[in-house]
Amino acid sequence: MTHPLQLTPDGRLRHLLTVEGLSRPLLTDILDQAERYAGQPSSNRGSSGSRGLKVPLLHGKTVVNLFFEASTRTRMTFELAAKRLSADVLNLQIAASSTSKGETLLDTLKTMEAMQVDMFVIRHEASGAAHFFAQHAAPEVAILNAGDGRHAHPTQALLDMFTIRRHRPDFENLTVAIVGDILHSRVARSDIHALRILGAKEIRVVGPRTLIPAGIEAMGVTVHNDIDSGLADADVVILLRLQKERMVGAFLPSTGEFHRDFGLTKARLETLKPDVLVMHPGPINRGVEIEGDVAYGERSLILEQVEHGIAVRMAVMGMILGDEGAAA
């Protein structure tokens, strides 16, 4: 069931906190809306025809990027998305804000609401932070989760699904392998929920035992502790960064050993399907989860993911704040 905070009484998006429980029609509608902003796929895997497209949909609206965690790619794509929808955008520097002086999250929210903000895009190290904001937000204020702890990163999952769909639209025939630090990854959890909603044939999580959450099979995935079996016959490989900043204790002997056992090398790629798609939410650790030649090789969709992030975030913002919202 969709989180009740996320939808209006008539089934439209009110906030976006997680993809878990979204209906397939609603998720698909978000992807369809994103097609309006992404342009036509070009022969070199990018998009063409809509670079820098700007529309007046959110003219007069104010969007605040409220990032309690460092980010470059995610914050910039949210900012570009809002500006291309003609919204006014504020980027709150948390280190220099009143929160560092003892102001609570709730104080920050209410202070910014008094400035007639329409949407907060929130990234926070604590799981559940976006839900907390949504629970306390004024009725006319929307919350968009840009990543909370290990919990969820819904727009990353949506842009990943959008990227896959452009190349492999029939999800029911797809085998997808998610490789690396599953334990600390909100992207992995959100991707798994999205893939299940879209009916993926098989979802695998691949990594050392120390980086696989206990009981993750309950999410409808199969676990592989050997990369060769995990990647066999996979149509899509999603690589994840080792999140050392979230690790407390010894999870791995060394990054070198991780690369040897679980990194996607050129040699390993050559053993996979010739049309396998390689993805990574970024930032990339070259020589750890992926070799540089593979990251920007002909099978890689990594830069396409970044580009599609703008279109997907435009779609979500438009559906929540504009007049594009479709009922689930």
Give residue for tokens 């004024």: 138
**Cα–Cα nearest to 183, from 129, 135, 246, 267:** 246
CA distance 103 to 119: 20
The maximal CA–CA distance of the chain, rounded, in angstroms, is 58
pLDDT of residue 70: 79
Tell me the average confidence (pLDDT) per consecutive run of 10 residues in the chain, 328 residues long.
77 95 96 90 49 87 91 91 97 64 74 92 92 93 95 97 98 98 95 98 96 96 97 98 56 77 95 98 90 94 95 97 61
Torsion, CA 22, CA 24, CA 29, CA 32, rounded to 10? 120
pLDDT of residue 49: 42
Give residue for tokens 């949504």: 134
The secondary structure of residue 119, as a DSSP letter, is E
- At 256, which helix (H) or strand (E)? helix 255-262
pLDDT of residue 244: 52
**Cα–Cα nearest to 311, from 108, 86, 32, 96:** 32
Q: Is the peptide bond before 283 cis (omega within 30 degrees of 0)?
A: yes
* Helix (H), strand (E) counts: the chain: 11, 11
> How many CA atoms, within 13 angstroms, populate the side-chain half-sphere of residue 301?
28
Please, what are the domains in the chain? Answer: 4-153+306-321 (3.40.50.1370), 154-302 (3.40.50.1370)
- At 158, which helix (H) or strand (E)? helix 154-167
